[in-house]
Structure 1
Amino acid sequence: MKALLELKNLTKNYWDTNEKNSRPFLFAHITATIQSPERIALLGKSGQGKSTLLRVLALLESIDSGEVRLKGLSTKDIDTRAWRMNIAYVAQQSVMLPGTIMDNLTTVSNLHNRAFDESSARCLMKDVGLEHLEWGKQAIDLSGGEKQRVALVRSLLLKPSILLLDEVTASLDQQSKEYVEQLLLKLHMEEATSFIWVTHDTEQAKKISERIWYMEDGKLTIDTKTKQFFENRNSVCSVTL
């Protein structure tokens, strides 16, 4: 059986080497495999390249060496648009497209020549606590937390097999944060959706993940089960989130 996702020796160099950098690369030799649908928390202190790694996996940034394979197929073997339908990236800073909420939600179907699934969109908006919003409202007028959740729903309408989540709940209040966590856990259980979730919230990592990737000094230094990661006192004392 082919692995769902394979990362093989991924290296991303700094575009401009200077004296402030103690190493010539942002990250190097990142190797990992997702064999079947999983929930992964990507941890590590700032500056390790976690967000950039997600963007590389989404084909939004290039790598200097290495290879990414989806179900056995390299990025070179799959059309970029098809790749992004399978692997969807949701940024920490949400970007609203010009127009209304409706315009933003229908973007996915317009780009991929699909019929807009209004029923799914309304269910997802309810799941993230936004069922009260009028879809004719200008997206630019939404609060930061509302924009973040609309952006997430917009990506979920692709029905991707893998979600790349970059601190997507960092700007949300506690209730909204829980809505998002519950929805993503439900999608994993019911639709076998995998996710790689960058977070600095240890409690969230414990709650939403079954596997931890920890980056330090530009390397993937820990790849283990979540329970083992947090039960290992030495690891907990030596890592910084």
Structure 2
Amino acid sequence: MGDLSPLLQVREVIFVREGKTLLAPVSFDLHQGEFLWLTGPSGAGKSTLLKIIASLLEPSGGEVRFKGQPISELTPEAYRQRVSYVFQTPQLFGRTVYDNLSLPYQIRQQPVNRQHLAAELQRVGLSPDMLDKPVEQLSGGEKQRVALLRNLQFPPDILLLDEISSALDEANKQKVQQLIDRLVATGTAAIWISHDSVEMDDGRRRITLLPGGQESQHESA
């Protein structure tokens, strides 16, 4: 673990819509280079919490701080380059795999190395020949891995993962897990939503959310 001060602070964050509590109050700290499993039954607000942390939703109450500063005071575009959210249902852009993997470079006005992008695909068990493959021809698991790689072209401070291995077989789940582990070892913090008890049976910290109206969280190592 890196700096002793928290990278992320979640304080009594709650989300209510149309009088219904979708996320009961939750609080925790996340430090540099820390990996956190986030679990709980359907309706407990796991994806809602990640979207709040990613600054894609405004909480109904409570506060999220990034490096000590409320995220509400930060520029959303700059913040989202440091805190990256990978959706459960991949959101791909453009026409091809190349269009997606080159997008982070285009946003930052940096040159794109095609050979590097081809090599990146192999890190998650995809063929380098897939660069020019149309996105509509990809399987669900292929889309998940392309979306993940797109978010990792410029490693963020915090990576938010919403059931990103749900469409993968065991071999490719292992490849993705190893990729995330290597990233965490370099200092990136990660929060990963999962329902896979095998994935989570690794002795690492876990927070379990419960549906709104109940005690919202339970921590375990």
* Deviation of the 1:163 alpha carbon: 0.8
Kindly indicate whether the alpha-carbon contact (under 8 Å) linking 1:40 and 1:211 is maintained by their aligned counterparts in 2. yes
CA deviation digits over 1:120-172, x for unaligned, max 9?
53443111011343312211111111111000000111311111101100011
Unaligned residue ranges in structure 2 (runs of 5+):
none
* Deviation of the 1:206 alpha carbon: 1.7
Q: Which residue of 2 aligns with 1:198?
A: 193
Matched, 1:61 2:63: no
Q: Distance in 2 between matches of 1:89 and 1:35?
A: 17
* Deviation of the 1:71 alpha carbon: 0.8
Identity of aligned residues (%): 32
How many residue pairs get aligned? The number is 216
Kindly indicate whether the alpha-carbon contact (under 8 Å) linking 1:8 and 1:31 is maintained by their aligned counterparts in 2. yes
CA deviation digits over 1:82-116, x for unaligned, max 9?
11111110111112212111111111122232333
* TM-score using structure 2 length: 0.91
Query: Which of 47, 66, 69 is 1:73 aligned to?
Result: 69
Kindly indicate whether the alpha-carbon contact (under 8 Å) linking 1:101 and 1:137 is maintained by their aligned counterparts in 2. yes
* TM-score using structure 1 length: 0.84
Query: Which of 146, 153, 156 is 2:152 aligned to?
Result: 156
The SS at the match of 2:131 is coil
Compared CA separation, residues 66 and 117, structure 1 to 2 (3 A): farther
Q: Distance in 2 between matches of 1:5 and 1:118?
A: 34
Q: Which residue of 2 aligns with 1:169?
A: 165
Unaligned residue ranges in structure 1 (runs of 5+):
18-23, 226-241
Alignment of 1:220-235 (within 5 A): 220-225=216-221
Q: Distance in 2 between matches of 1:184 and 1:118?
A: 23
Q: Distance in 1 between matches of 2:24 and 2:174?
A: 34
Kindly indicate whether the alpha-carbon contact (under 8 Å) linking 2:31 and 2:189 is maintained by their aligned counterparts in 1. no
Q: Distance in 1 between matches of 2:72 and 2:113?
A: 30
The SS at the match of 2:199 is helix
Ranges of 4+ aligned residues in structure 1 off by more than 6 Å: none
